[in-house]
Amino acid sequence: MRGAHRADPARSRGGRAALITVLPEQGAFRKLGLLPNGVLLGSSGDPNIDNTLRELAERCCVEERLCFVEEPVRAHIQPVFPSPSLYIFGAGHIAVPLAQLAGLVGFRTTVIDDRAEFAAGRRFPQAEVLVAAVNDAFDRLPIGQSAYVVAVTRGHLMDEEVVARALGTPAKYIGMIGSKRKVAAICDRLRQRGFSEDDLARLHAPIGLEIGAETVGEIALSIVAEIVAVHRGSG
């Protein structure tokens, strides 16, 4: 529930970990580690310094950058970023090159479809596959703040349901394929279901960067390009 709990540092930094190297004026380097749950492994030898280093590491994780600090000790802090997760709903013709390209750029990809003949490992050797209906899949998948969701199913109503469920998650990216007319119609229905303009502003639709894509491969490329742009903070 909104506002019902205090902020969780591990949640606010997306569950990321960090490596901390303390660089003393004399003696050997000390290595510490911040776990995704906020636990600090190792010690600088001073509990107060440890607490400060934990706070600094959490900040570096939130800001997604390497940090070099001078106080209270000289230290180098390196966030460890987990591979982002891409969930492709729909295992049709676009999903095949989309999963391939996403894997090439480092996404952990899961393809979801309720048709076993489409959601088959032989068609997606570089991805995990899940044979499930949309609602069942959302009930089972851990779609968090670093997740990317793409709706490329076989029908408008199914795409709408993917978007509706995805808007109820903290997913970083939600994209839906379709013409401007289809997008407008689905957005109207989502408004009738109670979704706000702020909710709909999270939706990337029509999906993909405008590169003049025509072929299936080019469409997949435009989608992955947009996802990478969002992932890198330029989209």
| pLDDT 10s digits, 153-195 | 999 999 999 999 999 999 999 999 999 999 999 999 999 999 9
Alpha-carbon 129 to chain mean position:
18
- Check residue 10 and give its pLDDT: 46
Domain boundaries, given as residue ranges, for the chain: 9-80, 85-231
Please, which residues have CB within 8 angstroms of residue 74's CB and are 6 or more apart in sequence?
22, 23, 24, 25, 68
Residue 38 has pLDDT above 90, yes or no: no
Residue 5 has pLDDT above 80, yes or no: no
Contact call for residues 144 and 16 (beta carbons, < 8 A): no
> 111-147, pLDDT tens digit by residue?
999 999 999 999 999 899 999 999 999 999 989 888 9
- Check residue 15 and give its pLDDT: 60
- Check residue 205 and give its pLDDT: 96
Please state whether the predicted TM-score (pTM) of the whole model is above 0.75. no
Q: What are phi and psi of 130, to 5 degrees?
A: -135, 120
Residue 62 has pLDDT above 90, yes or no: no
Residue 102 has pLDDT above 60, yes or no: yes
Q: Which CATH class is domain 85-231?
A: alpha beta
